[in-house]
């Protein structure tokens, strides 16, 4: 890095940081899907102008710090407001997490620079493939944290979201960055680049017209219960009776064949809940000719293990789903010898759950086959499809009260919209404080309950059969395309090396 160019580079690094912040506007609750295309186009332009690997790394890191520090501020709310972590420690923890997440775009910039100068089209192919792979890798390492994966910003309205049923959210990230790179490096003289850019967007629009799945049977009436129990009251023993009464009242107001309550709506072990209480709710579900899903903690098994679970009651035999993908430091403590002290710092009840089986079967309820996922699990599309194509409906139950009145709950809603698009299934969301919603198979929010109110969202949900390519192959098509683009992008480099030999 030349000292003379440092002031110019420093200003571009600061601009990259601001571009990262602006990129958050592409995600919910803003849904301004063209914004990430524009911000990534400028970042790619900066990357191309500063070819040194260190420059690429720092520009990517600055962009990532802007994106994540603005986009995951709800983590501070969870740690400080509800986890009782002291403010300095919560701020430090948030900054460390953001710095870790920012390494992924930073390494992308470094690799692009290391691969050397290629034609604009080849460079764009490499940029799209590398960013898509970095988003995917972020979902895998250390149990994964794919929040703010760029592809989510395109759900549900962008033409690029048409690639979701084909390649999932990471494929959408790939085509987003590919098109942004082409746009940012466009000189106005290359017909090939404009043709490829238009083909990407028109292709996505065309894919949106394909009915990947088909309606299966008649729509089913649903009632999604939102208890609105404040997070600081949820686990207090003196509030337990009031919480149970509130949920009983809301359930008895529900008219749907399928009634869904949020994650751990009753903060007790399943065996501790009075039998008469569950019998009353089950009887109501049977009167509706259907079933109810209730969130409870499954009592400790042999070895003291307990599970975050959903139990069904009603016309069908009782069934159960155990949460598999747990939240680090919220539901389990990774590397206990190193991080066991976190349990004493964070005032989070039941923070050491056991994992359920990763390959559980759909529940047969209210004439549908229900693929249940609990809270954080719907961030992992490759895990949701394990219950497909057998399942006809997706159900996500959450307690986003941990996020407070931040943008976190809306971002979580958009993630569920992407899952609906990937699978070609309705997604039903029942949450404690919001956002409780009915999402159709194209990712559109059909109905939504008012947040932070105790209410029941009544509506209809259509079951679907069939399998999108993503359901059949998971991330396989995305990984195949990323590999092909890497090969195509590196081909000019290989040819250049051969000429120099």
pLDDT of residue 328: 80
User: How far is it, in rounded angstroms, from Cα 366 to Cα 426?
Assistant: 15
Which one of the listed residues 44, 263, 331, 369 is annotated catalytic? 263
Burial class (CB in 10 A: 0-12, 13-18, 19+), 345: middle
- Structural contact between residues 324 and 353, judged by C-beta atoms closer than 8 angstroms: no
257 and 341 share one domain: yes
Which one of the listed residues 234, 323, 369, 377 is annotated catalytic? 323
User: How far is it, in rounded angstroms, from Cα 105 to Cα 92?
Assistant: 21
| Each residue's pLDDT expressed in tens, for the chain with a length of 501 residues | 444 456 688 889 999 999 999 999 999 999 999 999 999 999 999 998 877 899 999 999 999 999 999 999 988 888 877 777 888 888 998 999 999 999 999 999 999 998 876 788 889 999 999 999 999 999 999 889 999 999 999 999 999 999 999 999 999 999 999 999 999 886 555 778 888 999 999 999 999 999 999 999 999 999 999 999 988 788 888 889 999 999 999 999 999 999 999 999 999 999 999 999 999 999 999 999 999 999 999 987 766 788 999 999 999 999 999 999 888 877 776 665 555 555 555 656 656 788 999 999 999 999 999 999 999 899 999 999 999 999 999 999 999 888 889 999 999 999 999 999 999 999 999 999 989 999 999 999 999 999 999 999 999 999 999 999 999 999 999 999 999 999 988 877 666 555 655
User: How far is it, in rounded angstroms, from Cα 136 to Cα 132?
Assistant: 6
Residue-number span of the structural domain to which 317 is assigned:
214-467
75 and 201 share one domain: yes
115 and 142 share one domain: yes
Report pLDDT digits (tens) over 217-268: 999 999 999 999 988 788 888 889 999 999 999 999 999 999 999 999 999 9
- Determine, yes or no, domain membership for 441: yes
- Determine, yes or no, domain membership for 1: no
Tokens of 52: 């040194």
- Structural contact between residues 428 and 224, judged by C-beta atoms closer than 8 angstroms: yes
CATH of the domain at 319: 3.60.110.10
Report the interhelical angle of 164-184 vs 408-423 (nearest 10°): 120
249 and 179 share one domain: no
Which one of the listed residues 193, 331, 375, 377 is annotated catalytic? 375
pLDDT of residue 142: 87
pLDDT of residue 79: 82
- Determine, yes or no, domain membership for 392: yes
Known active-site residue 375: yes
pLDDT of residue 197: 93
Known active-site residue 331: no
Report the interhelical angle of 120-138 vs 34-49 (nearest 10°): 120
Name the pairing type of β-strands 307-314 and 393-398.
Answer: unpaired
- Determine, yes or no, domain membership for 157: yes
Distance of CA 293 to the CA centre of its chain: 23
Report pLDDT digits (tens) over 92-143: 989 999 999 999 999 999 999 988 767 888 899 999 999 999 999 999 998 8
Tally of domains within the chain: 2
* Order of strands across the sheet that contains 307-314: 320-322, 307-314, 291-298, 258-260, 220-226, 455-461
266 and 339 share one domain: yes
277 and 158 share one domain: no
454 and 496 share one domain: no
Known active-site residue 323: yes
182 and 295 share one domain: no
């Amino acid at each position: 890095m030349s000292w003379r160019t440092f002031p110019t580079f420093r200003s571009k690094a600061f601009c990259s940081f601001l571009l990262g912040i602006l990129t958050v506007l592409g995600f919910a609750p803003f849904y301004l899907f063209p914004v990430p295309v524009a911000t990534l186009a400028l970042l790619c332009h900066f990357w191309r102008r500063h070819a040194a690997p260190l420059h690429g790394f720092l520009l990517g890191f600055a962009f990532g710090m802007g994106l994540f520090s603005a986009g995951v501020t709800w983590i501070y709310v969870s740690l400080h407001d509800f986890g009782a972590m002291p403010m300095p420690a919560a701020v430090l923890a948030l900054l460390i997490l953001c710095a870790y997440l920012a390494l992924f775009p930073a390494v992308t910039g470094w690799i692009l620079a290391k691969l050397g100068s290629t034609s604009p089209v080849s460079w764009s192919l490499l940029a799209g493939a590398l960013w898509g792979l970095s988003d995917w890798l972020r979902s895998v390492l250390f149990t994964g944290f794919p929040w703010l994966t760029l592809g989510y910003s395109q759900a549900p309205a962008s033409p690029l979201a048409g690639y979701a049923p084909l390649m999932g959210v990471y494929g959408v990230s790939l085509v987003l960055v590919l098109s942004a790179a082409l746009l940012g490096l466009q000189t106005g003289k290359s017909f090939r680049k404009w043709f490829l850019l238009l083909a990407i967007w028109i292709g996505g629009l065309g894919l949106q017209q394909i009915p990947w799945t088909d309606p299966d049977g008649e729509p089913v009436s649903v009632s999604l219960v939102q208890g609105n129990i404040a997070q600081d009251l949820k686990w207090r023993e003196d509030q337990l009776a009031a919480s149970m009464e509130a949920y009983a009242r809301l359930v008895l107001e529900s008219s749907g064949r399928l009634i869904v309550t949020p994650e751990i709506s009753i903060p007790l072990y399943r065996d501790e809940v009075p039998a008469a209480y569950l019998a009353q709710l089950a009887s109501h579900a049977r009167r509706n000719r259907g079933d109810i899903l209730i969130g409870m903690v499954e009592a400790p098994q042999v070895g003291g293990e307990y599970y975050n679970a959903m139990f069904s009651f009603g016309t069908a035999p009782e069934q159960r789903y155990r949460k598999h993908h747990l939240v680090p430091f919220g539901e389990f403590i990774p590397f206990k010898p190193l991080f066991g002290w976190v349990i004493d710092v964070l005032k989070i009840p039941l923070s050491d759950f056991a994992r359920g089986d990763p390959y559980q079967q759909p529940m047969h309820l209210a004439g549908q086959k229900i693929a249940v996922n609990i809270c954080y699990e719907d961030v992992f599309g490759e895990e949701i499809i394990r219950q497909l194509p057998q399942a006809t409906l997706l159900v996500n139950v959450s307690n986003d009260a941990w996020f407070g009145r931040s943008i976190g709950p809306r971002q979580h809603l958009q993630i569920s919209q992407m899952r609906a698009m990937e699978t070609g299934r309705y997604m039903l969301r029942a949450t404690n404080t919001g956002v409780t919603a009915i999402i159709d198979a194209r990712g559109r929010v059909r109905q939504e309950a008012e947040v932070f109110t105790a209410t029941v969202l009544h509506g209809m949900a259509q079951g679907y059969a069939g399998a999108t390519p993503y359901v059949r192959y998971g991330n396989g098509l995305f990984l195949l395309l990323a590999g092909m683009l890497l090969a195509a992008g590196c081909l000019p480099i290989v040819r250049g090396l051969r000429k120099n030999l």
